[in-house]
Amino acid sequence: MAWDACKGNGRDHRFQIPLPSVVSPRTASLGRLREDGFGGVRLWTLRDTPQSRRFYAKSGFTESGVVRGHGNPIEQVEYEIIAR
């Protein structure tokens, strides 16, 4: 149960409402990948983009340690996550 509040006529009314069990999109996506037989996800992002790298780290991805450049001056970093 979760508490919610609303204000009406200058008074604070508190009531308890049931909230459905919430599954995060990340958990649901990884569960679906696992059900479909995939062991995880790998992605590439530019090395010099700290905002995207923070986003992937906060989303549960870890750096694999692999870097590629393909002759470009801009290197890419590989991130991965295991579908458990």
Contact 78, 67 (CB under 8 A): yes
Residue 12 counted as domain residue: no
Residue 16 counted as domain residue: no
Residue 15 counted as domain residue: no
Residue 11 counted as domain residue: no
Residue 48: helix, strand or coil by DSSP?
coil
Task: Give the span between the Cα atoms of 29 and 50, in whole angstroms.
Answer: 24
Residue 2 counted as domain residue: no
List beta partners, residue 67: 77
Residue 42 counted as domain residue: yes
Task: Give the span between the Cα atoms of 57 and 14, in whole angstroms.
Answer: 38
Residue 33 counted as domain residue: yes
Residue 63 counted as domain residue: yes
Domain that holds residue 60: 23-82
33 token code pair: 């990948």
Greater pLDDT, 51 or 37: 51
Mean pLDDT of 18-31: 69
Mean pLDDT of 43-52: 93
Asked whether the predicted pLDDT for residue 22 surpasses 50, the reply is yes
The number of folded domains in the chain is 1
49 token code pair: 């983009």
